[in-house]
Amino acid sequence: VIGGDGRFYNREVIQKAIAMAAANGFGKVMVGQGGILSTPAASHVIRKYKTFGGIILSASHNPGGPHEDFGIKYNAGNGGPAPEKLTDAIFAKTKMISSFKIADIGTVDLDTIGTVEAGGMTVEVVDPVADYAELMESLFDFDALRALFTSGFRMRFDAMHAVTGPYAKEILENRLGAPNGTARNFIPLPDFGGHHPDPNLVHAKHLYDEMMGPDAPDFGAASDGDGDRNLIIGKGIFVTPSDSVAMLAANAHLAPGYKAGLKGIARSMPTSGAADRVAEKLGIGIYETPTGWKFFGNLLDAGMATICGEESAGTGSN
């Protein structure tokens, strides 16, 4: 699986990755349409289609552009970030590289959904939103959410011209019936509109100001470059990342996907103890890890935790 947050040089790197995969004997590569694929969506695609792993092109909340940041992440076959054992092995291999293979296959069309052959390898361009939207519909009560929006509930989601814009338009406005304009800055841009796609009170101040204003919507949110970190703001109240994890855990049972309860909660060391109190109340385990998503993977895979979160506003579940 290959995709990214749409930042500058995203398409070029995808073309190189496809050509190198073809030269090294891969049978199939799945690519998000337009080179777009959020980190959570890539994780789901990896798991759903049981792929070898996935390359995600992103520098997270850092700026994009010709003179800005670029990054490459590798998610393993479980959909999660590569653990230290794997990244250490990759690093060791990089010190031994003396040559590399790349196929002369020309430019692959990344914008048309479908399958093409390239250098003896199948390249499937997939709708980056469809599978993820279906996953969300299986986890959350979309009928209840549609009724909520029909009742006049108002929200604002700022995609910050990063990867989550197409997801917000499809899920919030098209599937849940939220009013047009609920999703803002929803077109991914190579330079994120000249801003940092960092969902905090500095770079999403316009959202904060709106939520604190006299005509504030009922709920506000924003996400980062690749869609794995978030900002939550209520009408007239800011929710800290630590409290966000705790509130999600405390109320998860209300969503169909979590109605059976949580197996545990995992949080990074700098994250506050709010989640610990929720875990104690629910009678489930609480696990403290070093900072970094890769440390949550083992707990999720072992079935010891269901929800995890960190101090930099990243939250997720198994």
13-30: pLDDT as tens digits: 999 999 999 999 999 999
**91 vs 19, 24, 53, 84, 97, CA distance in Å?**
22, 19, 17, 10, 10
Question: Among this protein's residues, is 223 annotated catalytic?
Answer: no
Look at residue 229 and tell me if it is in a domain: no
Q: How many domains does the chain have?
A: 2
For 33-78, how does the pLDDT look when each residue is reduced to its tens digit (9 = 90+)?
999 999 999 999 999 999 999 999 999 989 999 999 999 999 999 9
Residue 314 has pLDDT above 90, yes or no: no
Q: Which of 72, 95, 128 is the last residue of a domain?
A: 128
Look at residue 216 and tell me if it is in a domain: no
Match 């070093």 to its residue by tokens. 290
At 298 the pLDDT is: 86
Please choose, from the candidates 39, 31, 38, the residue with its C-alpha nearest in 3D space to the C-alpha of residue 15. Answer: 31
Looking at this protein, which amino acid is placed at residue 19?
A
pTM of the model: 0.94
Helices 241-251 and 274-282: angle between axes, nearest 10 degrees: 10
Per-residue pLDDT, averaged over 162-182, amounts to 98
At 294 the pLDDT is: 82
End-to-end CA distance of the chain, in Å?
19
DSSP state, residue 171: I
Separation of alpha carbons 120 and 27, rounded Å: 8
**219 vs 175, 206, 232, CA distance in Å?**
18, 14, 8
Look at residue 18 and tell me if it is in a domain: yes
Which CATH number covers residue 306?
3.40.120.10
Specify burial of residue 233 (Cβ count, 10 A radius: 0-12, 13-18, 19+): buried
| Active-site hit among 60, 223, 242, 268 | 60
Separation of alpha carbons 301 and 73, rounded Å: 19
Look at residue 58 and tell me if it is in a domain: yes
Alpha-carbon torsion 260, 301, 43, 158, what sign?
A: positive
Look at residue 110 and tell me if it is in a domain: yes
DSSP state, residue 236: T
At 158 the pLDDT is: 98
Q: Which two tokens stand for residue 220?
A: 């506000």
Q: Which residues contact 277 (CB under 8 A, 6 or more apart)?
A: 246
Please choose, from the candidates 279, 318, 312, 313, the residue with its C-alpha nearest in 3D space to the C-alpha of residue 299. Answer: 318
Q: Which two tokens stand for residue 171?
A: 């899920």
Look at residue 143 and tell me if it is in a domain: no
Per-residue pLDDT, averaged over 202-217, amounts to 96
Q: Which of 60, 93, 128 is the last residue of a domain?
A: 128
Beta bridge partners of 229: 314
DSSP state, residue 256: G
Rounded percentage of the chain residues whose pLDDT exceeds 90:
92
Look at residue 233 and tell me if it is in a domain: no
Q: Which of 128, 148, 170 is the last residue of a domain?
A: 128
Q: Which residues contact 27 (CB under 8 A, 6 or more apart)?
A: 121, 122
Look at residue 195 and tell me if it is in a domain: no
Residue 291 has pLDDT above 90, yes or no: no
Looking at this protein, which amino acid is placed at residue 305?
A
* Helix ranges (DSSP H) in the chain: 10-23, 39-48, 84-94, 130-139, 142-150, 165-168, 205-211, 241-251, 274-282, 294-301
Looking at this protein, which amino acid is placed at residue 237?
I
Domain that holds residue 109: 2-128
Looking at this protein, which amino acid is placed at residue 98?
S
For 92-111, how does the pLDDT look when each residue is reduced to its tens digit (9 = 90+)?
999 999 999 999 999 999 99
Which of 8-17, 76-85, 167-176 comes out lowest in average pLDDT?
A: 76-85
For 257-278, how does the pLDDT look when each residue is reduced to its tens digit (9 = 90+)?
999 999 999 999 999 999 999 9
Separation of alpha carbons 263 and 301, rounded Å: 12
In the structure, what pLDDT confidence band is assigned to residue 235 with cuts at 50, 70 and 90?
very high
- Mean pLDDT of all residues belonging to the chain: 95
Choice between 2 and 302, residue whose per-residue pLDDT is larger: 2
